[in-house]
Amino acid sequence: MKITVVGAGNVGSTCANCIAQKELAKELIIVDIKDGLAEGKGLDMWQAAPINYYNTKVKGVTNDYTATAGSEVVVITSGLPRKPGMSRDDLIATNAGIVKSVTENVIAHSPNAIIIIVSNPLDVMTYAAYLTAKKASNKIFGMAGVLDTARYRAFLAEELDVSPKDIQALLMGGHGDTMVPLPRYTTVSGIPVTDLIDEDRLNAIIERTKFGGGELVNLMGTSAWYAPGAAAAQMVEAIVRDQKRIFPVCAYLNGEYGMKDIYLGVPVKLGKNGIEEIIEVKLNESEMAMLKDSAESVKSIMKVLDDMNIID
């Protein structure tokens, strides 16, 4: 198994480190455009192998996609992170061109790879990569729901003073302020969360989740990396180990939830074939209205991408 992570910045290197530690690949390639950065991070991770006991051979390269040839899974984290005061959507002008050219290079050397996009604005960057790659949509999708749900679960675990392992939750929609956490599909070891927490506290946690990325940008002056990197690696694990995990994933909709030709966060089954099923959970009227609102917000950024005229 050969895996590539494009981008040796905070998110890319954290993701690569998780992949190595989980021994998901025999060979792990990290690519970056900055001279020496990926080489250095790859070498550093390889030198951690005898300590952390993994066999994954990690190697970094500067913009040399021939080294990535034949990768079975590729994670694309390239692009600028946001700074305080910016929304993820503000990154489209810089990141769309970067994601397009990275996807072209990836496809040229690994035409059969399953591709996971992590770059922001996530839903539209995933769409841009799909248009560029021209491959089946079950093999190209985005990471956001695993991260957003993890934030929601972590906040709930803290509030209820229980293990984060016992919080099961679903969150749908775009990776932005309009994301839709779903309390009706949130349980603590099977117990409906609404039995354990009052409405005001739950609503406060939902609001904090929606702005979870921004909270970290304000604290650190740049975007988060530990949870985003771990989330992408968890998706890689589900694919590589054919785990059939059910995760919220930014997936291409072709009629599901009454929507077409859009990438949006929905629950899917992830296994060796990538997205093996899109699961259509029953949403009530207000949940559906929130999902549609989130889709509208993603569509407005798709329009910006379209107007940039950079993808055939």
Complex with ligand LMR: residue 120 or 187, whichever CB lies closer: 120
Min CB(120)–ligand LMR separation in Å = 5
Burial environment of residue 307 by CB neighbours within 10 A (0 to 12, 13 to 18, 19 or more):
exposed
Residue indicated by tokens 């988060």: 224
Confirm or reject binding of residue 153 to ligand LMR (CB under 6 A). no
Residue 176 in contact with ligand LMR, rule: CB under 6 A = no
**Residue 234: what residue type?**
Q
7 is in an annotated binding site: yes
Residues 80-99 touching ligand LMR, rule: CB under 6 A, are: 81-82, 88
Least distance in Å: CB of 147 to ligand LMR?
Answer: 6
| Residue nearer to ligand LMR on the CB measure, 228 or 248 | 228
210 touches ligand LMR (CB under 6 A): no
Q: Beta strand 2-6 with 73-76: parallel, antiparallel or unpaired?
A: parallel
Q: Is 183 in the site for ligand LMR (CB under 6 A)?
A: no
Q: Are 145 and 248 in contact (CB under 8 A)?
A: yes
Q: How far is the CB of 118 from ligand LMR (least distance, A)?
A: 8
Q: How far is the CB of 213 from ligand LMR (least distance, A)?
A: 2
Q: Which of 124, 197, 217, 270 binds ligand LMR (CB under 6 A)?
A: 217
Any contact of residue 228 with ligand LMR (CB under 6 A)? yes
Does 14 participate in binding ligand LMR (rule CB under 6 A)? no
Q: Which of 77, 223, 234, 297 binds ligand LMR (CB under 6 A)?
A: 223
Binding mask 110-149 for ligand LMR (x = CB under 6 A): ----------x--------------------------x--
Residue 109 annotated in active site: no
Burial class (CB in 10 A: 0-12, 13-18, 19+), 171: buried
Active-site choice (41, 135, 153, 175): 175
Shortest distance, CB of residue 98 to ligand LMR, whole angstroms? Answer: 15
Q: On the CB side of 83, how many CA atoms lie within 13 Å of its CA?
A: 0
# of chain residues touching ligand LMR (CB under 6 A):
12
Contacts (Cβ under 8 Å, ≥6 apart) of 312: 131
Task: Work out how close the CB of 2 gets to ligand LMR at its nearest, in angstroms, rounded to a whole number.
Answer: 27
Binding segment (CB under 6 A) for ligand LMR, from list 61-69, 177-185, 213-221, 304-312: 213-221
State the catalytic residues.
175
Binding-site residue set? 7-12, 32, 82, 88, 95, 118-120, 151
Residues that bind ligand LMR (CB under 6 A): 81-82, 88, 120, 147, 175, 213, 216-217, 223-224, 228
